[in-house]
Amino acid sequence: MKYWMAFCGIVTRELRRFWHQKARLVSALVRPLLWLVVFAAGFRAALGIAIIPPYSTYITYDVYIVPGLAGIILLFNGMQSSLSMVYDREMGSMKVLLTSPLPRPFLLVSKLVAGALISLLQVYAFFALAWFFDIQMSLLGYLFAAPMLFVTAIMVGALGLLLSSFIRQLENFAGVMNFVVFPMFFLSSALYPLWKLKESNTILYYIAQYNPFTHGVELIRFALYEQVNVMAFVITLLTAVVFCGAAIYGYDPKRGMHNRKAGR
Amino acid sequence: MSLALQVTSLSYAYQKHKVLKDVSLQLEKGKFYGLLGPNGAGKSTLFSLLSQLLSANDGDISVNGYDIKSAPRKALASMGIVFQQSTLDTDLTVRQNLQYHASLHGLSSKVAEQNIARELVRFSLEQKQHEKIRNLNGGHRRRVEIARALLHDPAILLLDEASVGLDMPTRDSINEHIRYLCKERRITVLSSTHLVDEIQTDDHLILLHNGKILLDAPCASALLTHQFNDVKTLYRQLIAGDAQ
């Protein structure tokens, strides 16, 4: 019961914070909408998309990038959550969480789940807006995508949590954007299919193949068409577990990086 | 003797820099302890170790009979902590901050609401309960933090320089209130400060300097033993003696 109370408390707190920061929702939606409306319009003519799974027919470029843009919302929100954890630690409110008489892994996972739920809200708000631009999936596709979006959100959120355990100051977070978020996003199948990448650069193609975010995007793409990409699911889930484990280790006062920072 | 907190041979180092050296303390239940020491004495490190934000290199800590190595969660549940730096969520209201803390301690909704109502009255915060923290002044914020720390009925209250940055009347009012709580609720209070004037002669004084305990005695008897009239002189002489 007390675990449930704590979990509800953490989720409620994150939802309240999100509600108080309405600009966060707007900025989370503006970014993918710009890609969808401006970028996709420009590239629609340049990029022809062949018939590749899960698509059964030729599709336009804007249809192709919608799962990738859902992925970018998850990625940026995951990083924003970890940014807020660095901020919480600098401001001290992280101590409230870490001095709760509940197991630290439970508290950190609860925070991850809360962040993932907020990411899902943003993604579905984006899907609703994309609907008006004639990018429409089946209702079942949207429902089917929810658990896959959740797993992907947990994966990128756990990566953010892991990074936050290493980052000493908020200022260092700009480096995360340049060295983690952008490479992860551009070296994935979010904006272009990997066979297109292979045509121009084989090395980048293989890097993209090993990028867990690629598998997260593919998981979402297949789910929106009511299919399960088993390999993508397994890789995304395993990566989420590894990142989670490493983040919990990072926040352990006996072992992790946190020990060097907490008292200062 | 019933102990609220027992610290035995505690040491801690940040890499090679030793911050706490073989510190031992015994805090009885229902008493007020003033932990006095200059900046950098090791007070915040001691609090971080007690609250398990750091893990000790050597030594043992027992809170309300619970060893923090074998029963860390029971030990944490016995403590209310007010950190030096404000840890309130400024985007949330007073009530929402209290609700969040209650949930982190696993209090049921019913118990949480009862305790929140009790603390809001105790700290005269009923009128402020729906205001966002960012709209409150420093004194009210501190009151909220102390109210929050008491929400789960801890056996020991740790105050890490809780009055820092506050004006004199607010400081006095908060300190009086804490002493009143100590008597009224029979909880043990360990209050760290670098301000000598916050220590009263009926307090139990613990003097920490360079990571070592220089004095651990009732303030009145320490003044008598060392033959000084006031805490300020006692403090200066002991610190100067240790520095030599």
Q: Is pLDDT above 60 for A162?
A: yes
pLDDT for position A195: 79
CA distance B29 to B188: 5
Query: For residue range A119-140, what is the model confidence (pLDDT) as tens digits?
Result: 999 999 999 998 988 888 889 9
Which residues of chain A from 1 to 60 reach within 8 Å of chain B, CB to CB? 1-3, 5-6, 8-10, 12-13, 16-17, 20-21
Mutate to test the interface with B, among A93, A98, A258, A259 (most CBs of B within 10 A): A93
Query: If you ran DSSP here, which 8-state letter would residue B126 be given?
Result: G
> Given strand B204-209, what is the order of strands in its sheet?
B79-82, B156-160, B188-193, B32-36, B204-209, B212-218
- Collect all residues of chain B within an 8 Å Cβ-Cβ radius of residue A6: 103-106
**In B, which residues are within 8 Å of A107 by CB distance?**
104
- 């020991």: which residue's tokens? B156
Nearest residue of chain B to residue A98 (CA atoms) = B53
Name the DSSP letter for residue B13: E
Of A16, A254, A262, the CB nearest to B92: A16
Gap between the Cα atoms of A75 and A73, Å rounded: 5
Average pLDDT, chain A: 84
* CA separation for the pair B204, B216 (Å, rounded): 7
pTM over 0.80: yes
Q: Answer whether A248's CB lies under 8 Å from A108's CB.
A: yes
In this complex, is the C-beta atom of A254 within 8 Å of any C-beta atom belonging to chain B? yes
How crowded is residue A38: how many other Cβ atoms within 10 Å of its Cβ? 10
Flag the least confident range among A17-21, A220-224, B78-82, B142-146. A17-21
Beta bridge partners of B14: B17
Nearest to B81 among A99, A258, A264 (CB): A99
What are phi and psi for residue B2, nearest 5 degrees? -95, 120
User: Is A253 a residue whose pLDDT tops 70?
Assistant: no
Tens of pLDDT, residues A173-191: 677 777 888 888 889 888 8
A260 vs chain B: nearest CA distance in angstroms?
7
Contact state of A92 with B48 under an 8 Å Cβ cutoff? no
| pLDDT(A223) > 80 | yes
**Structure confidence at residue A257 (pLDDT):** 46
Q: Please say if the pLDDT value at position A230 is more than 80.
A: yes
Confidence of residue A261 (pLDDT cuts 50, 70, 90): very low
What is the pLDDT, as a whole number, of residue A264? 39
**Contact criterion met (CB below 8 Å) for B204 and B31:** yes
- Give pLDDT, residue B118: 92
Residues of A numbered 92-131 whose beta carbons fall under 8 angstroms of chain B's beta carbons: which are they? 92-93, 95-103, 107
Instruction: Identify the residue with better confidence: A168 or A258.
Output: A168
ipTM of the complex: 0.83
A70 to chain B, closest Cα gap in Å: 28
Question: Residue A6 is nearest to which of B51, B92, B103, comparing CB atoms?
Answer: B103
DSSP B37: -
The pLDDT > 70 percentage for chain A reads 88
Reply yes or no on whether the pLDDT at A262 is more than 50. Answer: no
- The pLDDT score that the predictor gives to residue A45 is 65
Distance of CA A147 to the CA centre of its chain: 13
**Is B91 in contact with A21 (Cβ distance < 8 A)?**
yes
Question: How far A139 CA sits from the closest chain B CA (Å)?
Answer: 36
Strands B204-209 and B212-218: antiparallel
3-state SS, one letter per residue, for B61-121: EEECCEECCCCHHHHHHCEEEECCCCCCCCCCEHHHHHHHHHHHCCCCHHHHHHHHHHHHH
Average confidence (pLDDT) over A224-250: 92
Helices (H) and strands (E) in chain A, counts: 14, 0
The predicted structure's pLDDT at residue A47:
63
Q: Locate B4 and state its tokens.
A: 């609220």
pLDDT of residue A260 exceeding 60: no
Distances, alpha carbon A99 to alpha carbons A44, A243, B149, B240, in Å: 52, 23, 11, 36
Burial grade of A121 (CB within 10 A; 0-12, 13-18, 19 or more) = middle
Distance in angstroms (rounded) separating the CA atoms of residues B135 and B141: 9
* DSSP codes, B171-235: HHHHHHHHHHHHHHH--EEEEEES-GGG--TTSEEEEEETTEEEEEEEHHHHHHHHT-SSHHHHH
CB contact B238 to A (< 8 Å) = no
pLDDT at B168: 83
- Cβ of B14 and A260 within 8 Å? yes
Q: What string of pLDDT tens digits covers the 244 residues of chain B?
A: 678 999 999 999 887 788 999 999 999 988 999 999 888 889 989 999 999 888 888 899 999 999 998 999 999 999 999 988 888 988 899 999 999 999 999 899 999 999 999 999 988 899 999 999 999 988 889 889 999 999 999 999 999 888 877 788 888 888 888 888 888 888 999 999 888 888 888 889 999 999 999 999 999 999 999 888 888 888 888 888 876 6
Å between B63 CA and nearest CA of chain A: 13
Give B217's contacts (C-beta < 8 A, 6+ positions apart).
B204, B205, B225
Contact criterion met (CB < 8 Å) for A9 and B109: no
